[in-house]
A = this chain, B = another copy of it.
Amino acid sequence: MPTQTLPLTISMHPSDNVAIVANDGGLPVGTVLSSGLVLKDKVPQGHKVALVDLAADAPVLRYGIPIGYALKDIPAGSWVHERLLHMPDARELDNLPIATVKSAVQAPLEGYTFEGYRNADGSVGTRNILAITQTVQCVAGVTDFAVQRIKAELLPKFPNVDDVVALEHTYGCGVAIDAPGAEIPIRTLRNISLNPNFGGEVMLVSLGCEKLQPERLFPPNTIEIKTASDTRGTGSAGPLGVPPLQGGETRSGTGGLVCLQDDAHVGFMSMVESIMRQATTHLQRLNARRRETVPASELVVGVQCGGSDAFSGVTANPAVGYCTDLLVRAGASVMFSETTEVRDGIDQLTSRASTPEVAEAMIREMAWYDAYLQRGKVDRSANTTPGNKKGGLSNIVEKAMGSIVKSGSSAITGVLAPGEKLKQKGLTYTATPASDFICGTLQLAAGMNLHVFTTGRGTPYGLAECPVIKVATRSDLARRWHDLMDINAGTIADGSKTIEDVGWEMFHLMLEVASGRKKTWAEHWKLHNALVLFNPAPVT
């Protein structure tokens, strides 16, 4: 590891007129940089120093673009913090460059495989989990009680099943379920239930009187419908349908569905036993799943960042971007997201779209989110956090430039609206809020079987539904959080590794984790964050 005593600054683009300080603890006033420039201020780690004299109103360039305009004259060597910058307006959504960049066709990456669970629908799971879908929060207490008993009494009998997870959420009733936007949480919950890690088994617990009725969550055209008698003990791993209403009045408590208000339930324990009985059916089928060798193209990777700092866009996110390109070359699916964190780089994205239709779909998602924020009387600048700013990110423009690099350099070939299910390989813009938990939830709904999460400030993020590989942007964080961070991309700033090195390290670790040969730290400690459904409609 190279010594950190030499002053170290990092520029991202030849035209940049600021650079960030890489040294742990920052650099004191009077420090002489390698260029001969003398610091006029103490500059904290990750924060920007002016490389030249910046006149009032001059653009402050990072990543080769204006991340802001100087509010007053800023002499070379000064600390350029957010209070010295005026933020540019958001890029307008008309007259954007459309599919102008033809990404260099990169050689396919062949021969990489992992050991996964092949599902009947062709998708591949990286874990073997019984998920219990809930139509409504009302059933959460009873389901939790049952899940504890399932884990204690049933799971040991099904050693090939990794876990039992209740898909708890706060939607389902007390919401304006016919309002514009209500389709988002509904399809999200539906598609999460169909995540490849759950083996095509859909087990539903419903209350009975809720707004989100089982047949609304799973209309007949969404999954194969079988009657209760078809679903018992067949041993098949095929999709399990929700039995239709019987006689139009009462719903069967067997099959894929347990309805707590079912007349057959007398006493609390009868509800618990119904859930356990139904779980047994699914556990039997899940237990028959076996890992098999599948090509790396079966990975469905969601990339995300949270608790970002100025290093996110310098170390971890570029390494993710490199890995994204490797995955695309291997024929895999990669999703990048976080609408407010790509909004300011929309021109980069539309120009990288493979077709005008893809570019138009991205613009449509941005416009939808602009309008959503405007209804709440805010804009994309509501994104940045105190920690972002403390970490050196002055505003959402600078944050976005560092966030977008997770998408690498491949052509963008697909776009999903929030909660939609991914149906293609390659690089897809999966529109989500930037909220870590909503983004993760929507990527799960899209079909994610592996999650990559970069962090600069540090977060113990984890999901019960899918492995999460966490990447530290700084070596200091990786050292202190040694048993929470799976990869240290801070080595890039230290100079001990290249972006390519860390990108390949990530790619190889993905195959190990996907195969179940390695657990992530979040899996080791069982750190499970909540599913958070994105509901842009009102509650009632």
Which of A207, A525, A540 has the most CB atoms of chain B within a 10 A radius of its CB?
Answer: A540
Specify which chain B residues have a CB less than 8 angstroms from the CB of A387 in the assembled complex.
207-210, 261
Q: Are B174 and A434 in contact (CB under 8 A)?
A: yes
Shortest beta-carbon distance, A207 to chain B, in Å? 6
**Interface SS of chain A:** loop
Cross-interface CB contact of A210 among B139, B211, B385, cutoff 8 Å: B385
Q: Are B137 and A530 in contact (CB under 8 A)?
A: yes
Assembled-state Cα–Cα distance A175/B307 (Å) = 14
Assembled-state Cα–Cα distance A376/B538 (Å) = 6
Assembled-state Cα–Cα distance A340/B307 (Å) = 38
Shortest beta-carbon distance, A244 to chain B, in Å? 15
Per-residue CB proximity of A166-203 to B under 8 Å, as 1/0? 00101001111111110000000000000000000000
Cross-interface CB contact of A459 among B138, B377, B390, B536, cutoff 8 Å: B138
- Assembly of this chain: how many copies? 2
**Which of A100-108, A230-238, A481-489 has 4 or more CB atoms under 8 Å from chain B?**
A481-489
Assembled-state Cα–Cα distance A278/B460 (Å) = 19
Q: Are B261 and A483 in contact (CB under 8 A)?
A: no
Known A-B contacts A170-B530, A209-B388; the reply to A540 vs B434 at CB < 8 A is yes
Cross-interface CB contact of A460 among B260, B377, B386, cutoff 8 Å: B260
**Which of A114-122, A140-148, A155-163, A493-501 has 4 or more CB atoms under 8 Å from chain B?**
A140-148
Q: Are A538 and B435 in contact (CB under 8 A)?
A: no
Assembled-state Cα–Cα distance A492/B93 (Å) = 63
Which residue of chain B is the closest to A480 with respect to CB atoms?
Answer: B266
Q: Are B540 and A307 in contact (CB under 8 A)?
A: no
Specify which chain B residues have a CB less than 8 angstroms from the CB of A179 in the assembled complex.
376-378, 382
Assembled-state Cα–Cα distance A478/B144 (Å) = 23
Which of A139, A261, A340, A532 has the most CB atoms of chain B within a 10 A radius of its CB?
Answer: A261
Cross-interface CB contact of A373 among B380, B457, B538, cutoff 8 Å: B538
Specify which chain B residues have a CB less than 8 angstroms from the CB of A537 in the assembled complex.
376, 378
Q: Are A140 and B529 in contact (CB under 8 A)?
A: yes
Assembled-state Cα–Cα distance A95/B54 (Å) = 62
Assembled-state Cα–Cα distance A340/B173 (Å) = 14
Q: Are A528 and B480 in contact (CB under 8 A)?
A: no
20 other A-B residue contacts (CB within 8 Å) besides A142-B460, A268-B460:
A138-B459, A140-B528, A141-B526, A142-B527, A173-B385, A174-B436, A178-B378, A207-B307, A208-B458, A209-B386, A209-B458, A261-B457, A261-B458, A268-B481, A268-B521, A268-B525, A271-B460, A373-B538, A376-B538, A382-B538
